[in-house]
Copies of this chain bind each other. A is one copy, B any other.
C-alpha cells in the first residue's frame, strides 16, 4: 500500500511559497525585537512534564499535552508554551546573567486541541520577555513593542485594541472590596475569564451560584455584575480609584498615549487563562466585529523564576502565535508579499555544460542567486521553467557567448533582452534586488 501524503492532523506543511511568508513574518518579529535590544535564545522542544505541571494550568498539562515516556522512563512533553523553559534558562544562570534581561525566541509549540480555523495543534510563537524590572516602565516597553510589531505589518491602530488590566486590582476587588474568600475568588476569576463565551443570563446565574448566600444577600453579586460593566478606569467607584493598581494603569495608559499608542483600553473583564500572572495583564484584541477575538497577550509573572530554587525576578512578557496573527493579516489584507530569492536562471544553448557551470560559479561568487538548468531540454521548455519558478532574469549561454564573454540577459516580466559583460549583468541584477 502506498504511504499517505497527508501531514499529521492539525500540523502544517510549508511548501516554498508558504515558507517564504513564514520567514517574512519571522523576520519582522526578529527585527522589532532587535530594535528594542532583545536577544534571541532557544531551548529544546522536549521538556520534563513537571516543568509545566507547576504553573501552566491544568488544561495545558492534562487535556492538551503531548506527553509521553521516553526509552529511559522519563516523563516528557512537547512544549505547549515557552515561558516555563525561559524561566528555567534564566534560573540556570541566575548569578552570571546581568539583569535586566531582554530576551526573545520563536519556538514551535504543540497543543492537542481540536483543529479549527486560526488554531492548529502546532504553531510558532514569538516569545518576548523582560526580566528584572518591577516598575511600570517595563509595562510601557511591552506595549511599545506590541505597537511596533503590529505596525511592522502595517496594521492600523483602529483595527485592534490593547486591553489592559491588573490581577492585583482584580484580587483587591474580589477579596477586599467584595469580601469573597479564596475559593470564591478563584471560581469567579475563571467565570469572568469565560464571560464573553457564555450567554449573559447563564453567566449571571453562575456568578450568583458561586457566592456564599450571606454575601449574596448583602448584594455582592449585583455589586460585581454592575462593576463588570465598567468601560474605563475613570468610571470605577471612587474607593477603587485610590488603589495603587488603578493609578499604575492610568499612568501606563497616559504614557502610552503620549508616545502615540492611542488604542489602549481598560477591560475589567480581562483575566488571561494562565495561572502564573501576578499583576499587569494585557491582550491585543481584533476590533473587527466579524472576528472580535483575542489575538495575543501577556503580562507580569514575577514568581516563575523563583520556582527553580533561586531568588525571584520580576518578569513581564507576551507571546504571539503565527497562526492567529496570520488570520488577522488575511482578514486585513496584510499578509507580507514575498518574492522568489533566485535571481538568474541560466539556460545553456548547445553542448556548453562546462562553460555554463563555470559562469554559474562566477555569478554565485559575485553574490547572485543563480539556478543552472541541467535538464538538457529544449530552450523553450527551460524558459517555461524559469517563468513558472518566477526567477526574474534568464541568462543565455552558448559557445559564442562564452567566447566573447558577452551574455544575453532577458528580464522575464518585460521580455526585454540586453547583451552585457558578466560584471554589468551582476550590477543590473543587484539593482533589481534593491528595488
Tell whether A7 is near chain B: CB-to-CB under 8 Å: yes
State in angstroms the CA–CA spacing of A148 and B68 once bound together. 41
Question: Which of A43, A76, A255: most chain B Cβ within 10 A?
Answer: A43
Inter-chain contact A44/B358, CB cutoff 8 Å? no
Q: Which of A193-201, A205-213, A368-376 contacts B (4 or more CB under 8 A)?
A: A368-376
A95 CB to nearest chain B CB (Å):
12
Interface string of A1-26 (1 = CB under 8 A from B): 01111111101111110011011000
A141-B372, A374-B138 as given contacts; A341 in contact with B91, CB under 8 Å:
no
Inter-chain contact A7/B364, CB cutoff 8 Å? no
- For residues 40 through 66 of chain A, which have their beta carbon under 8 Å from a beta carbon of chain B? 40-48, 50-51, 54, 66
State in angstroms the CA–CA spacing of A105 and B144 once bound together. 33
Tell whether A342 is near chain B: CB-to-CB under 8 Å: yes
Inter-chain contact A5/B45, CB cutoff 8 Å? no
Of B72, B144, B374, the residue contacting A361 (CB under 8 A) is B144
Tell whether A250 is near chain B: CB-to-CB under 8 Å: no
A188 CB to nearest chain B CB (Å):
29
State in angstroms the CA–CA spacing of A105 and B34 once bound together. 24
Inter-chain contact B50/A388, CB cutoff 8 Å? no
State in angstroms the CA–CA spacing of A133 and B103 once bound together. 45
Inter-chain contact B342/A37, CB cutoff 8 Å? yes
Inter-chain contact A46/B2, CB cutoff 8 Å? no
Contacts of A293 in B (CB 8 A): none
Inter-chain contact A39/B340, CB cutoff 8 Å? yes
Inter-chain contact A46/B98, CB cutoff 8 Å? no
Contacts of A41 in B (CB 8 A): 13-16, 19
Contacts of A410 in B (CB 8 A): none
A253 CB to nearest chain B CB (Å):
14
State in angstroms the CA–CA spacing of A92 and B6 once bound together. 8
Of B20, B39, B102, the residue contacting A40 (CB under 8 A) is B20
Inter-chain contact B51/A3, CB cutoff 8 Å? yes
Interface string of A285-323 (1 = CB under 8 A from B): 000000000000000000000011100000000000000
A199 CB to nearest chain B CB (Å):
30
* Copies of this chain, whole number: 2
Tell whether A93 is near chain B: CB-to-CB under 8 Å: yes
Inter-chain contact A112/B70, CB cutoff 8 Å? yes
State in angstroms the CA–CA spacing of A428 and B431 once bound together. 25
State in angstroms the CA–CA spacing of A45 and B122 once bound together. 9
Tell whether A74 is near chain B: CB-to-CB under 8 Å: yes
A124 CB to nearest chain B CB (Å):
10
State in angstroms the CA–CA spacing of A243 and B75 once bound together. 54
Question: Which of A6, A36, A93: most chain B Cβ within 10 A?
Answer: A36
Of B12, B40, B93, the residue contacting A19 (CB under 8 A) is B40
Question: Which of A13, A132, A133, A371: most chain B Cβ within 10 A?
Answer: A13
Tell whether A119 is near chain B: CB-to-CB under 8 Å: no
Q: A20-B40, A100-B375 are in contact. List 20 more A-B contacts (CB 8 A).
A: A4-B51, A4-B308, A7-B43, A13-B42, A13-B44, A14-B41, A16-B40, A19-B40, A35-B368, A36-B369, A36-B370, A37-B371, A39-B340, A44-B122, A45-B45, A108-B108, A141-B374, A255-B357, A259-B357, A259-B358
In the A-B complex, the 9 residue pairs with the closest CB atoms: A2-B309, A37-B371, A11-B44, A68-B68, A16-B39, A137-B374, A5-B92, A14-B42, A37-B342
Would you give 19 A-B contacts (Cβ < 8 Å), ordered by A?
Answer: A3-B309, A8-B48, A8-B76, A16-B39, A19-B40, A20-B40, A35-B367, A35-B370, A37-B391, A39-B340, A39-B341, A44-B122, A46-B110, A46-B122, A71-B112, A133-B375, A140-B357, A141-B372, A255-B357
